[in-house]
Amino acid sequence: MLSGTILLLVKFFLRIFSEITIKSPSVRKHFIRSLRRNIQSDMSSISKEITVSGGWDHLFVTFDEKLQSAEKVVEKLKKTAGLESFSQVIEFPLGDFDSILQNVLSVRAEELQGKTFCVRVKRAGIHSFRSIDLERSIGGGILKNIPGTTVDLHNPEVLISLGVKNNTLSVFGKKIPAIGGYPIGTQGKVLVLLSGGYDSPVAAQMMMKNGCKVDFLFFNLGGIAHEKGVEEIAYHLWNSYSHSFPLKIFSVPFQDIIRKLLTKTDHRFRGILLKRFMLRIAEKVARRKRYKAIVTGESLAQVSSQTMQNLDIISRVTNMLLFRPVLTMNKQDIINYAKEIGTADFAENMPEYCGVVSDKPSADAKIQDILAEEEKFDMTLLEDAYREMKKSTVSDFEKDTDTPVIESISSVGKNEVIIDLREEEEVQECPLHVPEVKILTIPFYDLAKEFPNLDKGKEYLLYCERGVISRVQAEELLKKGYVHTKIYRPLETEKND
């Protein structure tokens, strides 16, 4: 709300994404109808009294100032696919040029200090002046009243946009950028493989921004801790970017498949095999639920399983249309994008579960080697995992605020036992040595099953290389009532000594 301004209504002027406006008339109408419907749905989640009007060139969002919802409306509009930008509109009785200047200054003066500017007027109706007359008058008044301002008609720092319609003056506030793209739902629905790292949430948001209705397929590699983390990411993406659609998530238990991969297959090909297994199930879900495409967060050459040759081998397992929106982005660009859309904080605390299957992976696998490895694997496990898949509605998820405080220690007492959560091959290659301390090797995917059988009179310290998997596993154990659980983080001088 602007101080000193009496408003009955708060109005926002919405500029439609420029690429929509160059479509054929029928396509443009379809896109704008979808955009208006999506915005109305989003606004209804704030208040049923917010209205959306207009079409073809622009839209308006209008509501009573008593609702005090302007900040919420702004945050929703910033993240609405199909909008290029928007501005608050302040309406006044037209009056003479002096009163128009005072009204313009009341709205935009703070932005003009020391800046270059330009005044643009759009006029409709019969008036005693031309648009250019008003532009010159207001421009001269700004130069006289605001120190340090200069006119720049070609590339101004501040654009003063005014609308004159009959006896009403509209002063447009600062232009606020939106995300552009196409209205969600105009390009059909796709199934996104969501892992919880940086890449797949970025890929999902990119597909939303380009008009796709998105649902998620999650392969649970790390138990309850992994599932809860991914649910939080899914909820954030739905609430921020796809609130007008009831986003679904399919969760597939994959711990048994990870266990078999680590014990039955060649370590060089595990990452490729895991991705092929995931795509097999993804295609089943996609065809059954009539998704138009499968989406992954794979980026070319980011890791060994994502070289061009390996991506080709992974892709051969499905005939579905396969999108990789972040394919040509480097890691830092993906992280920066994740920060912009609000998923980076989740990813920073999410273990790289897929990384546990990769031990000196092959960057140039051969299809015959992969097929030979798959011959060793009990493929009925994929059928079992598919049958055990569960479906949830993301809007039903609630943020877990009951996060236990977990102690992290670097010294071990007499009654404490270290549990090394790494995979057995990794332990053998880089063993953890702590003198006079018992160390159990229980891979993270077996911890939930094995932990209840351990001596309840001992205290257990969970260890992994980076400390991330041990933290999330400790959180879940504490939530289940196993209070004698901590994280072991050895000093660098003691680590793998």
- CATH number of the domain within which 423 lies: 3.40.250.10
Residue 100 within any structural domain of the chain: yes
User: Residue 296 and residue 411: Cα distance in Å, rounded?
Assistant: 42
SS3 state at 408: strand
Within this chain, do residues 330 and 448 fall inside the same structural domain, yes or no? no
Please give the residue that has the higher pLDDT: either 174 or 494. Answer: 174
Within this chain, do residues 264 and 323 fall inside the same structural domain, yes or no? yes
pLDDT band at 128 (very low <50, low <70, confident <90, very high): very high
Instruction: List the one residue out of 434, 429, 405, 430 whose CA is nearest residue 419.
Output: 434
- What φ, ψ does residue 441 adopt, rounded to 5°? -105, 110
* Span 152-163, pLDDT tens digits: 999 999 999 999
User: Residue 241 and residue 234: Cα distance in Å, rounded?
Assistant: 11
Q: How many domains does the chain have?
A: 3
Within this chain, do residues 245 and 150 fall inside the same structural domain, yes or no? no
- Burial, 386: exposed, middle or buried (Cβ in 10 Å; 0-12, 13-18, 19+)? middle
Within this chain, do residues 484 and 460 fall inside the same structural domain, yes or no? yes
Residue 1 within any structural domain of the chain: no
Residue 403 within any structural domain of the chain: no
Question: Which segments within 17-94 are labelled E, that is strand?
Answer: 51-55, 58-64, 83-93
Domain that holds residue 81: 9-179
pLDDT above 70 coverage of the chain, percent: 93
Residue 400 within any structural domain of the chain: no
Of 147, 179, 211, which marks where a domain is finished?
179
Strands 9-16, 83-93: parallel, antiparallel or unpaired by DSSP? Answer: antiparallel
* Span 103-119, pLDDT tens digits: 999 999 999 999 999 99
Within this chain, do residues 243 and 218 fall inside the same structural domain, yes or no? yes
Please give the residue that has the higher pLDDT: either 213 or 438. Answer: 213
Within this chain, do residues 266 and 144 fall inside the same structural domain, yes or no? no
Residue 19 within any structural domain of the chain: yes
- CATH number of the domain within which 35 lies: 3.30.2130.30
The lowest-confidence range among 35-44, 55-64, 222-231, 481-490 is 222-231
- Cα–Cα distance list, 371 to 166, 265, 354, 376 (Å): 74, 11, 20, 9
CB 162 within 8 A of CB 120: yes
Instruction: List the one residue out of 452, 492, 445 whose CA is nearest residue 221.
Output: 445
The DSSP secondary-structure symbol of 405 reads P
In the numeric block, the tokens 């010294």 are attached to 411
Of 149, 179, 209, which marks where a domain is finished?
179
Within this chain, do residues 235 and 312 fall inside the same structural domain, yes or no? yes
User: Residue 123 and residue 129: Cα distance in Å, rounded?
Assistant: 10
User: Residue 404 and residue 478: Cα distance in Å, rounded?
Assistant: 7
The DSSP secondary-structure symbol of 403 reads P
Q: Which residue type is seen at 350?
A: M
Residue 447 within any structural domain of the chain: yes
- What φ, ψ does residue 463 adopt, rounded to 5°? -130, 135
Please give the residue that has the higher pLDDT: either 67 or 128. Answer: 128
Within this chain, do residues 467 and 351 fall inside the same structural domain, yes or no? no
Of 179, 213, 230, which marks where a domain is finished?
179
Tell me which of 118, 354, 430, 464 is the catalytic residue. 464
Can you give the pTM of this predicted structure? 0.81
What is the enclosing helix (H) or strand (E) of 110? helix 97-112
Within this chain, do residues 323 and 386 fall inside the same structural domain, yes or no? yes
pLDDT band at 305 (very low <50, low <70, confident <90, very high): confident
Within this chain, do residues 202 and 173 fall inside the same structural domain, yes or no? no
User: Residue 44 and residue 297: Cα distance in Å, rounded?
Assistant: 32
Within this chain, do residues 30 and 158 fall inside the same structural domain, yes or no? yes
If you average pLDDT over residues 15-43, what whole number do you get?
Answer: 95
Max CA separation in the chain (angstroms): 95
Residue 147 within any structural domain of the chain: yes
pLDDT of residue 1: 41
Q: How many angstroms separate the first and last alpha carbons of the chain?
A: 63
Within this chain, do residues 172 and 223 fall inside the same structural domain, yes or no? no
Instruction: List the one residue out of 405, 430, 411, 407 whose CA is nearest residue 420.
Output: 430
Among 110-119, 404-413, 416-425, 437-446, name the most confident range.
110-119
Residue 40 within any structural domain of the chain: yes
User: Residue 473 and residue 451: Cα distance in Å, rounded?
Assistant: 11
Please say if 464 is a catalytic residue. yes
